[in-house]
Amino acid sequence: MMRKGYRAAALALAVGMAVSMLAGCGGKSESASVKVKVGEVTRSVFYAPEYVALSQGFFKDEGLDVELQTIPGGDKTMTALLSGAIDVALVGSETSIYVYQQGSDDPVINFAQLTQRDGTFLFARKEQSNFDWSQLKGSTFLGQRKGGMPQMAGDFTLKKKGIDTSKDLTLIQNIDFANIAGAFASGTGDYVQLFEPQASIFEREGRGKVVASFGVESGYLPYTVFMTKLSFITKHSGTVQKFTNALQKAQNWVKDHTPEEIADAVLPYFKDADKDVLVSAIKRYKDQDTYALNPVIDDAEWNNLLDVMDNAGELKERVPASKIVNNSFAEKALSEVKDDK
């Protein structure tokens, strides 16, 4: 009898331990988050909704552990994506077109738009009232690096304004992105094409004034987009949907909050930044609809992007959006994620 009782007790103990272990495993499965490695082409207030999604816990709420790293240069960011070093890239959508033009069995797919305008401004060394683009004629213009989207949007705008860069002004485009602001500060150029927050910093330092926006003049286009390889979408469509949902939450949040509140939210990602400068930059971007209100890439934006690239001579063919854009995740997020004002 004692032996039988011993066996019964041992069995009960074993069952209890098994149930406990299963419960523990179940709990771990429910709480475990999916890691997503994201590479951004630069650290910029231009990407404010991305940092809002992180700081406000929107990725975490979707069960994602987003590991963000900055990989300077579109070519390096794309190399990291193609090699599998990162899962998702935040970079100009033109890079996906370059990859497509080269041919690939595993194309890069744009699935969620972050910014919908070029992020650069025309900065004049001398403050000018009643600015007109014709005032650039005869000047020295310090533009962005040739081949990049800022340069293409800049040239597209200048041509639209009737300026022939080959003869109407002295164009400088051989200075690395990181050194453009320094070159202007040291005396090079009458005008310079700048991103924020550098434009706001220069204004505070009395170096000149923003007189126009290349983003406004070049129109809406999928300027900066989250993209990944087709194989990742095929294997991890649920993760891509959760990622896009989190972005939509962040875009709603940015729309509904002031530049001051947005600056507070993104400040942890700009530890050495002056908050007043961040507020000025965010306000400028927000006022001109730079931050996309949703992740959808529409046909009009895509066609404008192709026009900008075609003007720059960077297109072998006009790539239809259907080839490398997947809006299904963005459209679902737009319809299902509520805007909690």
User: What is the pLDDT at residue 31?
Assistant: 53
| Mean pLDDT, contiguous 10-residue spans, the chain (341 residues) | 41 39 40 91 96 98 98 93 98 94 93 97 90 96 88 95 95 90 96 96 96 97 97 98 98 98 97 94 97 97 96 92 97 93 69
Counting beta carbons within 10 angstroms of the beta carbon of residue 177, is it exposed (0 to 12), middle (13 to 18) or buried (19 or more)? middle
Contact 321, 285 (CB under 8 A): no
- Choose among 209, 207, 189, 202: nearest CA to 142: 189
Q: Residue 104 has what pLDDT?
A: 86
> Which residue type is seen at 134?
S
Residue 202 CA to residue 211 CA, distance in Å, equals: 13
Residues 6 or more apart from 78 whose CB is under 8 A from it?
Answer: 89, 91, 95, 98, 99, 108
Domains in the chain: ranges and CATH? 34-118+220-336 (3.40.190.10), 120-218 (3.40.190.10)
Helix, strand or coil for residue 328?
helix
